[in-house]
Amino acid sequence: MAKLILSMDDQVLKEIPLSRERTTIGRKPQNDIQIDNLAVSGEHAVIVSILNDCFLEDLNSTNGTQVNGKTVKKHFLQNNDVIELGKYKLKFVQDSSPKPAAAPAVDKADFEKTMVLRPGAMRAAAEQAKAMAAGGQAGTAEAVRAAAVKQAVASATAAGIADRDSKPVQAPPATPPAAPSAEATRSPGAAAPKVAPGAESPRPASTPASAQAAAPGAPAARPTVAASAPAVAQKPLLGAIQLLSGANAGKELELSKPLTTLGRPGVQVAVLTRRPQGYFITHVEGTQHPAVNGQPIGTAPHALKDHDLVELAGVKMEFFLRG
């Protein structure tokens, strides 16, 4: 937990833990941190703590609030920041040791965290339910079981026994409160994000992604495709391949599935993957690698661009995007 060290003229006066969501600072006695000095306004500033992050906000004080010598209105406090109010200094110290238990409110907010439901809690709840049933209060066995389970969830949530999240989610104040429920309704199968994938990935793009990042530049040469480029970013266009040689020349294959296997098992196999960023071809099996526009691809997935020519197991085909 973070704390403030109040000092004047390098004399430490006291330490104040930031245990509340809001810690107010001012001259008036109702403040959490009262500083009886005329240079300090009645209600001078407030520190808002969200998870492990603390934000300092000046409450339109007469003489202002300074952090590390600069006047601030709002400030995201960092370890060892010094807040100055008149002659007083408040040093902000972030304790790096873990919190004994995450705030229950946080647990409720983040459904993704894995927690252990202790068998004890479950058993106790079940026994209680059984006792209830014996007393003739509850109806069917299922209802009893449901009650037990519900109770166990409640107790586990309240206790917040062990959460699997190492990094408490840095919930920015802008996060819409509806987010957790939206997550809760996501189904594993239909989880494919329909929004621009780049926008929601905080992580730097991995190799295949960066390869794909170059792709939008290429279609720009074709005016017809360039016009539809924003649509690619929103929702990937449906791709297809047309066979140009071999027995089935002229046939088209729509790439609507996430994975499409091409080639002959045992000889040469490649897989076309449909990802939010677009289509990729990956060599899977065989001594010979497929060629894209005459160049054999390596072992890594290769991003396909509109009208790329692919040669695989002696068959030529063209990849294109459907507008």
Partner 1 sequence: MDLTQILEIASCTDPGMVRSHNEDSVAADAASGLVVLADGMGGYNAGEVASGMATSVITSEIKQLLARTPPYTLDPVTNIAIAPRMVRDQVVKANVSIFQAAQSQPQYAGMGTTLVVCLFYDNKVLVAHLGDSRLYRLRAGDFAQVTRDHSLLQEQLDAGLISQEQAKHAQHKNLVTRALGIDPQIEPEVHEYPVVPGDLYLLCSDGLCDMVGDEEIGEALRAFGSNLDLASQQLVQMANDNGGRDNVSVILVRVLREYPGPRGVMGKLFAWLK
Residue ranges binding partner 1 (CB under 8 A): 97-102, 111-120, 122, 142, 145-146, 149, 152-153, 156, 161-168, 183-193, 197, 200-203, 206, 208, 257-259, 261, 265, 269, 271, 273, 275-276, 282, 284-285, 299
Tokens at 32, concatenated: 């959490």
104/258 with CB nearer partner 1: 258
Please identify, using beta-carbon distances, which residue of 63 and 288 lies nearer to partner 1: 288
Residue nearer to partner 1 on the CB measure, 4 or 262? 262
CB of 195 to partner 1, least distance (A): 10
How far does Cα 165 stand from its chain's mean position? Answer: 12
Q: Least separation, in Å, of the C-beta of 53 and partner 1?
A: 14
User: Smallest gap, in angstroms, from Cβ of residue 221 to partner 1?
Assistant: 27
Residues 6+ apart with CB under 8 A from 59: 26, 41, 43, 44, 45, 46
User: Min. distance of Cβ 106 from partner 1 in angstroms?
Assistant: 11
Amino acid at 214: A
Backbone phi and psi for residue 188, each to the nearest 5 degrees, phi listed first: -60, -40
Which CB, 66 or 94, lies closer to partner 1? 94
Residues 234, 196 contacting (CB under 8 angstroms): yes
- Confirm if 318 and 241 have CB atoms less than 8 A apart: yes
Residues 238 and 255: beta-carbon distance below 8 Å = yes
Distance of closest approach, residue 267 Cβ to partner 1, in angstroms: 11
Rank residues 150 and 251 by Cβ distance to partner 1 and give the closer one. Answer: 150
- CB of 54 or CB of 262, closer to partner 1: 262
What is the closest distance, in whole angstroms, from the C-beta atom of residue 46 to partner 1 in the complex? 27
The two three-digit tokens of residue 5, written as one number: 């060290």
Distance CA 267, CA 270 (A): 10
Of the candidates 304, 264, 298, the residue with the CA atom closest to the CA atom of residue 283: 298
